[in-house]
Amino acid sequence: MAHDLKTPLTVVRGNAEMLCDTEQTEEQKEHTCYILKNADQMEQYVQMLIDISKAEAGYSLQLKDVNMRTFLNNLYTQINALASVKQLKTEFDEKDLPDIIGIDASLMQRAIINVVSNAVDYSKEHGAIWFSVSAEDNKIRFIVTDSGKGFSPKDLKNAINQFYQSDFSRSSKLHYGMGLFIADSIVKQHGGTLVVANSPATGGGMVTIEI
């Protein structure tokens, strides 16, 4: 059903964008912008339905040997871009990493970026995001820490549940409470774990992914 909705939405968006290239009155421009804005919102709802279906059914993993340096560099670029929206400082730390990692690079990147998006959403402007990655006992550990208020006791129990959004917006509004749920699903399919906690050092939220 969700996929069936994508085609008419694409048509609506395409026609609205074509209207933008024509001469319009101010009122017509306003209506055109309204159409585009709501088409964007509908596309997010459709994508959410697709994400729910995939997460519940299980993603089709394409496991490959991936160059760790390339994978991390791509991650750092995206993390910096997300952090810049709120002028957040980013700090990266690496320790004892292998040259190659066996993962579905696209899905694992998505899982990590979902976690980072949650951290950015909850951080105040001019705060900080810390990202560390290390290897120990044949495991790779990714840790995302923010400078926000941290997870409440209720959040710690429910943060990775589908559609959960805390009173303090710990779950990203962009993902409608799906961000950490999807990340957890992807990590589990890699045979790993996702753990939500608060950082003893900063008091902010801390999410650890281990695969």
Quick one: pLDDT at residue 177?
55
pTM: 0.72
**Residue ranges for the chain with pLDDT beneath 70:** 1-6, 158-177
Domain 64-210 fold: Heat Shock Protein 90 (3.30.565)
Quick one: pLDDT at residue 29?
83
| Amino acid residing at 193 | T
Quick one: pLDDT at residue 60?
78
Pairing between strand 100-103 and 64-67? antiparallel
| Packed helices 68-84 and 105-122: angle between N→C axes, nearest 10 degrees | 30
Which run of H or of E encompasses 89?
Answer: strand 89-95
Quick one: pLDDT at residue 99?
97
| Amino acid residing at 74 | N
Quick one: pLDDT at residue 68?
97
CA 23 to chain centre: 38
pLDDT tens sequence across 72-82: 999 999 999 99
User: Any idea of the CA torsion for 188, 96, 144, 153, to the nearest 10 degrees?
Assistant: 70
**Closest alpha carbon to 48 in 102, 1, 92, 106:** 1
Q: Domains of the chain: which residue ranges?
A: 2-57, 64-210
